[in-house]
Amino acid sequence: MPVASAAFSDRSAKWFARGSGLFAITLGLVVLAGWPFDQPALRQGLDGWAPMRPWTAIVSLMTGFGLLLLTTKPRPALRVARLLIAAAVAAVTLPMIAAYVLGHPTGIEAVFYPRLIAAYPISGGIAPIIAVDYFLAAAALLVVAAPPSFRHADVAYAALASIGFGVAVTILVGHLYWATPLYGVGFFSGASVLAAAGLAALFAGFLAAKPDIGVLRIIRRPNLGGTAARRLLPMVIAVPLALGWVLVKTARATRVDVNLTMALFAVLAAAMLIAVVSVVARQLSRIDAERRRAVETARRVQERLAQAQDVVGAGAWDWDLTTNECTWSDSYFRLFGLDPATSPSSHAAFFERVHQEDRPAIAELMEKVLPDGGPFQCEYRIVRPDGVVRHIATLASVYRDDNNKPQRVSGLNFDVTDRVELATALSAAKRDTERAAIAKSKFLASVSHDLRQPVQSLVLFVGVLRERLKGAQVEGVLGGIEHSVEALRLMLDALLDVSRLDAGIIEPKIDILPLGPLLAALEHEYGTRAQAFGLRLRCVATSATVRSDPLLLERMLRNLIENALRYTMRGGVVVGCRRRGEQVALSVCDSGIGIAPENQAAIFEEFYQIGNPERDRAKGLGLGLAIVERLGRLLGHQVSLRSRTGHGSCFSITMPTAAPSARPGPPAVAGPDAVAGPDAVRNEMVIVIEDEELVRDSLNEALTTWGYDVATAGSIAEAVAKVTGSERYPALVISDYRLRDGEIGPAAIEAVRKRCGTAVPGLIITGDTAPERLKEARAAGFALVHKPFSTQSLRDMVASLTHH
């Protein structure tokens, strides 16, 4: 039986004590009112009873307040108030006890209502035995306030309260049995029924105010002793009192011999007590049988729990905070590497095994949880006796009594060393992977730049040759070279794009993008190539605006258009879009060979091609559609295909629409009419800043062929020197993005602008396709073109920037 279900829980005991204090206060007030208003019933109770004297009523009032203060939370001010009440009660009762012992009245007996008191055969003071009992109450209040150094305070308090209660009950029994010596003779003279009742209630309240000491501690125990006490005490007290009162009452009425009365009392009392003991014995036997069954059930549960703990590797423990005793399961001992036969189970032994670096955290946690915390969990390290360090996870709860005081802490411990080591290994592997990804990103950026440089030079030199060499004999050779260089450029772009996607270093930059300017630029760029193949390319004008990454979406469209031109023998290619609710489907449709249903999933795989068994590199590597599919997944755009063999194909990219933005879209590529030929160029000066000599020479040759006056430089300082002291300002500055010694193209163009004192147009050329490069160029007001670019696209870009 838990303590909370015993005869007196802490809460019920506290309320009983408060009720006793209120009874003593009320009794004192009622009696005090009976004297000035001359109401015998209020000051003596029943007719024939001795009255409760004024001083007795005052002391009852004070001790009742003292008892109420005893049941409140301990505060310094209340402690002082209790001390003052105890001192006042002692100051009243001690002189009256001394006056009776010495036979010299103090004079305070006649302070209250001497005329009314004269009508009774008593003095105005407190009855001696009543004064002693109230003095015991004052002493109990003093003991409660004793300093902690007084180690026997609880014993003294319980003794004072028990003696006081016994004296009060003795007086009441004397009145009950008409035993005059117990209430009206000598030291017991003048002890009234009301005063004795008030004292009995008062001292019962004192005992209830401290239920963990004295007789109540025995009664409240959840064991068989407490159960027997709760069952027997009421009967042991009530049966003799009731039986004795009946026999005495009968003897007084019938004048029966006293010896006969005592004999009857002994026989009847013994018989009734035997009956009571028999009933209680049967109840205890039933309780004991239930206890045995509960113990057996608990044993079986404990065995199953121990088996379960062994399976999951958990160690159970319990820490009794009232006794500081700990109970550990066998699994707990094994968890800590301890021998149950030789190792003590205590909190100190546990703390000794905790890793020295983790002890402060554990101590801080317990200080935080015990006062008002609930369930908690923590992880820490332990050091086994053999020096092995293990990681332990604890799940525990704090259990409290009715007053919210912590009584015990119970929990389970788990060995999580494997999990911690795995997490550490995973963390290290993650760091290694991140370092490898960074290294791979840097490698790809370097490779992208370094591989594009010679290809770019080759493209430009071929373009220069076409401008300078004429004739049917060289036309075929140049056409073959251009065809090979273009195939090399496309394959390089595809391989680098796949590598960047595999490395996961492409991060989309979602923006609001109008599709009209983008489609117009692509139509202008690929229209001439389509005509060269005898095909038509048409991009349907649109005002649709979408949310996507401009560069990555353009890359997807370029791959789809190039794929369509590559596999279309006659007819043409149409690019257009259609709204579908909150989505826009951008489609590239051709009249080519079509794709059989069984191949429509495979064409999005790397290096897969239809109709190219001889691996003609002019048809690419089979990476274009794989890049489209990967970029679609990266952007969250759906890529779909509709196709029939021999009837062409239609690839669609579905993306979310967006409200038109006030920001301008990408600049449209200048049309053919806006591009001037070499004869239209009037020796305008163009500065080329490029640290790679081969690329620098190829740019110089191409621009010179087109009629520009070219000044080349390998660094910012050389470029500034070219314009220093010159009477001509450049019409355009072309710079590679990445120069030597950490210099970058935007800074080089800005340096030339600053030296010239005017915003000279700038063009950044770079092999770095990261979106940041485009944003950086746009923010500075520069155009940007990615290597390797064709000769014609560079010529168009230069012409548009120099307004030719």
For 589-650, what is the HEC assignment?
EECCCCCCHHHCCHHHCCCCCCCCCCCCHHHCCCCHHHHHHHHHHHHCCEEEEEECCCCCEE
pLDDT in tens, 362-417: 888 888 888 876 788 889 999 999 999 999 898 888 888 877 888 888 888 888 88
Please return the burial class of 371, using the count of CB atoms within 10 Å of its CB with bins 0-12, 13-18 and 19+. exposed
Residue 305 is predicted with a pLDDT of 64
Q: Residue 386 and residue 337: Cα distance in Å, rounded? A: 8
pLDDT in tens, 618-668: 455 557 788 888 888 888 999 998 988 888 899 999 999 987 754 444 443
Residue 30 is predicted with a pLDDT of 93
Q: Residue 709 and residue 707: Cα distance in Å, rounded? A: 7
pTM (predicted TM-score): 0.40
Three-class secondary structure of residue 121 per DSSP: coil
Three-class secondary structure of residue 257 per DSSP: coil
pLDDT in tens, 433-463: 778 766 665 665 566 666 666 777 777 777 7
Q: What is the mean pLDDT of the chain?
A: 79
| Mean pLDDT confidence for 753-777 | 82
pLDDT above 70: percentage of residues in the chain: 75
C-beta separation of 787 from 766 below 8 A: yes
Residue 784 is predicted with a pLDDT of 87
Q: Residue 601 and residue 643: Cα distance in Å, rounded? A: 12
**Is residue 675's pLDDT more than 60?**
no
Residue 7 is predicted with a pLDDT of 43
With CA atoms as reference, report the closest residue to 50 among 183, 139, 167.
183
Burial readout 272-310 (b: 16 or more C-beta within 10 A, e: otherwise)? bbeebbeebeeebeeeeeeeeeeeeeeeeeeeeeeeebe
| Mean pLDDT confidence for 715-723 | 90
For the chain, the C-alpha Rg in angstroms (whole number) is: 53
254: its two tokens = 């019938």
pLDDT in tens, 590-624: 988 888 887 777 777 765 566 544 334 445 555 77
pLDDT in tens, 770-786: 667 777 888 888 988 87
Q: Looking up tokens 């009664």, which residue turns up? A: 219
Residue 123 is predicted with a pLDDT of 63
Lowest-pLDDT range of 23-27, 438-442, 514-518, 786-790 = 438-442
C-beta separation of 564 from 590 below 8 A: yes
**Is residue 163's pLDDT more than 80?**
yes
589: Cβ contacts below 8 Å, ≥ 6 apart: 564, 573, 574, 575, 576, 648, 649, 650, 651
- Edge-to-edge strand order for the sheet containing 783-786? 709-713, 685-689, 732-736, 762-766, 783-786
Q: Report which of residues 258 and 703 the model is more confident about.
A: 703
Three-class secondary structure of residue 508 per DSSP: coil
Residue 647 is predicted with a pLDDT of 84
Residue 120 is predicted with a pLDDT of 62
Residue 4 is predicted with a pLDDT of 38
Q: What angle do CA 738, 739, 742 make, to 5 degrees?
A: 90
Please state, in angstroms and as integers, the Cα–Cα distance from residue 305 to each residue in 256, 297, 406, following that order: 69, 12, 25
566: its two tokens = 């590559």
Task: Give 18's pLDDT tier (boundaries 50, 70, 90).
Answer: very high
520: its two tokens = 């117009």
Q: In 401-491, where do the E strands start and end?
A: 406-415
Q: Residue 785 and residue 765: Cα distance in Å, rounded? A: 5
Q: Residue 550 and residue 667: Cα distance in Å, rounded? A: 12
C-beta separation of 43 from 210 below 8 A: no
Query: Residue 33 is inside which H or E element, if any?
Result: helix 10-34
Residue 369 is predicted with a pLDDT of 84
**Is residue 315's pLDDT more than 60?**
yes
Please return the burial class of 615, using the count of CB atoms within 10 Å of its CB with bins 0-12, 13-18 and 19+. exposed
Domain boundaries, the chain: 3-222, 223-301, 313-415, 507-669, 675-801
C-beta separation of 132 from 126 below 8 A: no
320: Cβ contacts below 8 Å, ≥ 6 apart: 326, 327, 407, 408
DSSP state of 744: B
Q: Residue 307 and residue 313: Cα distance in Å, rounded? A: 10
Three-class secondary structure of residue 783 per DSSP: strand
Q: Residue 414 and residue 419: Cα distance in Å, rounded? A: 11
**Is residue 533's pLDDT more than 70?**
yes
**Is residue 209's pLDDT more than 60?**
yes
With CA atoms as reference, report the closest residue to 235 among 271, 201, 272, 267.
272
Residue 505 is predicted with a pLDDT of 59
What interhelical angle do 417-468 and 472-503 show, nearest 10? 170
**Is residue 228's pLDDT more than 60?**
yes
Return the CATH number of 675-801, one of 3.40.309.10, 1.20.1250.20, 3.40.50.2300, 3.30.450.20.
3.40.50.2300
Q: Residue 657 and residue 650: Cα distance in Å, rounded? A: 21
- The yes/no answer on whether domain 313-415 falls in CATH 3.30.450.20 is yes
C-beta separation of 681 from 706 below 8 A: yes
Homologous superfamily (CATH) for 507-669 = Histidine kinase-like ATPase, C-terminal domain (3.30.565.10)
Give the residues across from 689 on adjacent strands.
Answer: 713, 735
